[in-house]
Chains A and B, each alone.
Chain A
Amino acid sequence: MKRRLTAHQEQTEINVSPLIDMVFILLIFFIVATSFVNEIGISSTYKDSASPNSSNLEPLTFDLTSTGQILQNGSPIGLEEVAPIVIRTERESSDKVLLRVSPGSRAGLATQVMDQALRGGASTVKLAALSE
């Protein structure tokens, strides 16, 4: 009589341990799968060229040759000179820099020139590809 009573009691309540197991596995899966890609980098948040008042101003232009030279007004300069040139150039839209790259030049150097221009106070650096 006593045994039957306990057996009956066990059957009525739902066994939740498999449920908990499954939920834990799902939880661990989602914790692991939530990959937070943490990138650092430079973003040149330039306004669209459609904005009317900025279009008539000539941006400060740097050229990157395929041999890895940085040209400004046709004369070669070093990478460390980019930031001082941007600082020195006093203009209304002094924060606008155009970097023209020729085919064959390295992207690493282009990124470094953009970085130096941003360091010199430019807020917008536009990257343009020169056709051969």
Chain B
Amino acid sequence: MKNIPRRSMDRIDQEINVSPLIDVVFILLIFFIVSATFVSVPGIEVNRPKVQTATSLQRNSILFALSNENQLFHGGQEIQLDEMGTVIENSDKKRDKPVIIQVDQWADASILAKVVAQARKSRSNVSIATRKPS
């Protein structure tokens, strides 16, 4: 202590110590990188059916959308029914993510049944997204 000149002591006291700030920001950054789950949204907006017993579905899911013209969408592009299995496998290789199907209320119900059946070949947990009960 004695050896340090008086002037440099003053200098150290004056400037703000930013290292704890950097530490905290890095921890936040790492948290958000790790927790970032990039859900690929289907890419179209559908008119969901209104129901009464809707429950909250798992957040980290594989999303599909069935439009009112009976087209199946995933990740912003139209896919065919028989591509669903490979799409599910590609988007989630090892974990057992559930599948959520956003269906338009004017879509064909028999197509929906086929989509659900196809999704159930790969995943056991298949849900249909609905509107909030009001």
Which residues of A are at the interface with B, using a C-beta cutoff of 8 A?
Answer: 9, 16, 19-20, 23-24, 26-27, 30-31, 33-43, 45, 48, 64, 101-112, 114-116, 118-119, 127-130
Contacts and interface: CB of A to CB of B under 8 A. Distances in A.
Interface of B: 8, 11, 18, 21-22, 25-26, 28-29, 32-33, 35-39, 41, 49-57, 59, 61, 63, 66, 98, 100, 102-114, 116-117, 124-132
Dominant SS among interface residues on chain B: mixed
B71 to A, nearest CB: 13
11 contacts: A35-B39, A36-B59, A40-B57, A43-B98, A45-B124, A106-B105, A107-B49, A107-B108, A108-B106, A112-B51, A127-B112
Given A16-B22, A37-B59, A129 B127 contact: no
Given A23-B29, A37-B39, A106-B106, A112 B22 contact: no
A33 B18 contact: no
A23 B18 CA distance: 13
A23 B54 contact: no
Contact of B25 (A27, A42, A129): A27
